Amino acid sequence: MIPSLRPFPMIVAALLVGTGNRPAALAAQGVMIAPHVLFIDHRTRSGALTLYNPGTEPVEISIATIFGYPVTDSSGAFQLQTVDHPDSTQPSAAAWIQAYPRRLTLGPQQKQIIRLLGKPPATLTDGEYWARLVVTAKGGAVPVSGMADSGQIEVGLTLEVRTILPVLYRKGSVSTGVTLTDLHAAAKGDSLELRIHLVRRGNAAFVGTLRAVLVDSSGKAVGKFSWPQAVYFEMAPRFAVPLTGLGSGHYRLRLEVTSDREDVPPEAILPIPPLRDSVDVAIP
């Protein structure tokens, strides 16, 4: 039960060697998926995902579930931590969230609805449970240029594009919250680097938005920034924003954490009171 770290979304490429006709153009990257996050309520135990292929070539689709959640490494970069065999102490829904169909071929300009069904154990307690839906799209092959002449053998590149979407299954009473500490901001080169420490409270992941405003010595806003943010356990992310056009001097960065998200349905938001903090910034 050793966790592994994976960047997300993942793109996997494999070389193919074949003979005969030249490989067709690749179309897998064009598959569109909505929504980007799925919430399933225990009362209905179901959800839906829409796939659309806007390209001109068919795309092979496969769907799987894993248990994982975002974390940050020592540098503040985001990664996906996965657990291949989660035990009963971890809020995993990966084993009992099922997708129908799990494999299909999506033709050009074709749309397909994927049904998700939760089949949790009868002993499931109140709370929020997590899974990641892995949608793998595989199209044709692209010829590789610049290779030495090998007679009748042609070398092509086939790409698999894996989109990883969060699935949050909620049963009974769920609540969330987050603590904000260790706000640091410093100018580095032509950017302002921001670091914070976030710890989730409650029995559900915090899904919200970070907003930052940089003000000058007169209190005038000279820069506004925002980032979507999810905290499943603990995060210490790093953000960098451009300082283009700002002169030397003393500024103040004001940070706010809220539970609103443009990409989350209003009925799925777990509201929290806004959190605010600020820090002085010197730009040389």
DSSP string, 141-201: EEEPTTPPP-TTEEEEEEEEEEEEEEEEEEESS--EEEEEEEEEEEEETTEEEEEEEEEEE
CATH number of 176-283: 2.70.50.60
The candidate with the shortest Cα–Cα distance to 227, out of 201, 263, 202, 199, is 263
How large is the average pLDDT for residues 211-234?
A: 94
* pLDDT for the residue 161: 87
pLDDT tens, residue by residue, 121-178? 999 999 999 999 999 998 765 555 555 555 555 555 667 888 999 999 999 999 999 9
Answer CATH for 4-171 from 1.10.10.10, 3.40.50.300, 2.60.40.10, 1.10.260.30: 2.60.40.10
Residue bearing the bigger pLDDT, 2 or 76:
76
Its pTM stands at 0.82
The domain locations on the chain are 4-171, 176-283
The confidence band for 24, taking pLDDT boundaries of 50, 70 and 90, is very low
What are the tokens at 54?
A: 């806007």
CA 220 to chain CA centroid, nearest Å: 34
Mean pLDDT calculated for residue range 28-55? 90
Query: What span, in angstroms and rounded, lies between the C-alpha atoms of 53 and 30?
Result: 6
Confidence band, pLDDT 50/70/90 cuts, at residue 4: very low
The pair of three-digit structure tokens given for residue 104, joined into one six-digit string: 């299909």
**Coil, helix or strand for 28?**
helix
Q: What is the pLDDT of residues 45-80, one digit of tens each?
A: 999 999 999 988 899 999 999 999 999 999 999 999
Which residues, 6 or more positions from 176, have their beta carbon under 8 angstroms from its beta carbon? 200, 201, 202, 203, 204, 205, 206, 207, 259, 270, 272
At residue 27 the predicted structure's pLDDT band, cuts being 50, 70 and 90, is very low
Does residue 146 or residue 259 have the better pLDDT?
259
Residues paired with 73 in a beta bridge: none
**What phi and psi values does residue 30 have, to the nearest 5 degrees?**
-85, 0
CA distance 51 to 105: 11
Cα distances from 124 to residues 89, 120, 206, 216, 268, in angstroms, run 12, 7, 21, 52, 20
Stretch (H or E) spanning 89: none
Query: Which residues have a Cβ under 8 Å from the Cβ of 266 and sit 6 or more positions away?
Result: none
